[in-house]
Amino acid sequence: MRLTRNNGWQGVMRCATLTLPVLLLAACATQEPAGTQPQTVPVPSKPAVPAPPPQQAELKALIGLQDRLYDVAAPLLVNNALLCRNNARNLLGFTAKTKYSYTSEFIDAASSLGLSDQLQVTGVLAGSGAAKVGLQRGDLLVSIQDKPVPTGADAERQTALLLGPLVNGRNSIKVTIARSGGNQVLNIPLTRACAFGIELGNTENVISYADGRRVLISSGMMKYTKSDDELALVIAKEMAHNTLTHPSRQRNTATMTGVIDNLIRLKPDTAALNGMAGVKPYPQQLDAAADKLSLYMVARAGYKVDDAAAFWQRLASSYPASVLNGYTAIHPGTDYRLSAIQQAVSDIQAKQATGTTIQP
């Protein structure tokens, strides 16, 4: 949404012809006649641009963080189907939402940002089949394989049920979209990718979680990372935990799922995080294994791995294990991990230098 405002009056007013009102002519005089008071021309002030409602501003800020998270995650998901093992799936490669995708208190704010009861594309996975055929953010979903796309409060779930049987045994899906007042038909090639949901956690705690099928990165962690390369390290680390089935091996799956379900709300209950919410810290051996796999994922996605050890060391120094609900409290084996990270980085750099396939 763009806000426009009046450009106002120019800062310099030129003297004009006698046909202008006397008041304007008086303002152009260099000297006032004796005994008269100077006359000034009232210059209208620029109209104030109304501030967006608090809920709209909050939702817009969160959407901005989500966009960055999805943009950084896209190459990790698309380029690592080989490494994701049993978690690779055929995907359409885009996300879509309605105004009902948010809690009731934010429905009006979502409407003001252009969402309605019709599913609208809110993100397109870079490198996916959807991106290659030109699907765009803002496109409205009309039909899938000539079946009308559901609308209303339950549209997301019903559309997922519609799509489920269609992605097996096909190379592409026929999708009709509405754009610029007309309908277009796109045959979207399916993309083999890691089928992990990437979620934004609405908390300033510097944390990330994996529950076996999803990855959650907190807004606090996103703000802590200084570059997309650093954010990619965090996302890939949780993808690696999922790939290696660490949440289930830790018997953390149900707990992590509850934490993620809570933190993705627009108004999460952060008090529930006290005492790490029952999440068990990862043993250093599991953590180091996830570090190694994640670095290969990062490199295959085109991100830099050179400064990985420095990033994890900085994070551990900023948020040591004594900080409850911080990253290091769940991943305490930093010193042990750094050795594994440095070895993996050396191996990856050697493969890159010789043009060898980058895989463990």
Domain boundary among 173, 194, 215: 194
Note the pLDDT of residue 267. Answer: 83
What's the number of domains the chain is made of? 2
Domain boundary among 194, 227, 242: 194
Note the pLDDT of residue 49. Answer: 56
Q: Are 193 and 180 in contact (CB under 8 A)?
A: no
pTM: 0.81
CA distance 178 to 166: 21
Instruction: Return the amino acid letter for 72.
Output: V
Note the pLDDT of residue 164. Answer: 85
- Locate 31 and state its tokens: 């000297």
Domain boundary among 136, 159, 194: 194
- 149 lies in the same domain as 204: no
Q: Which of 78, 269, 292 is nearest to 192 (CA)?
A: 78
Note the pLDDT of residue 254. Answer: 87
CA distance 129 to 131: 5
Query: Which residues partner with 188 through β-bridges?
Result: 173
Residue numbers of the domain that contains 118: 90-194
| Mean pLDDT by groups of 10 residues along the chain of 360 residues | 36 32 30 46 58 77 92 95 93 92 86 94 91 96 96 94 86 96 96 94 94 96 97 98 94 88 86 72 96 98 97 96 88 95 97 95
Note the pLDDT of residue 288. Answer: 97
- 293 lies in the same domain as 183: no
HSE-up of residue 114 (Cα within 13 Å, Cβ side): 12
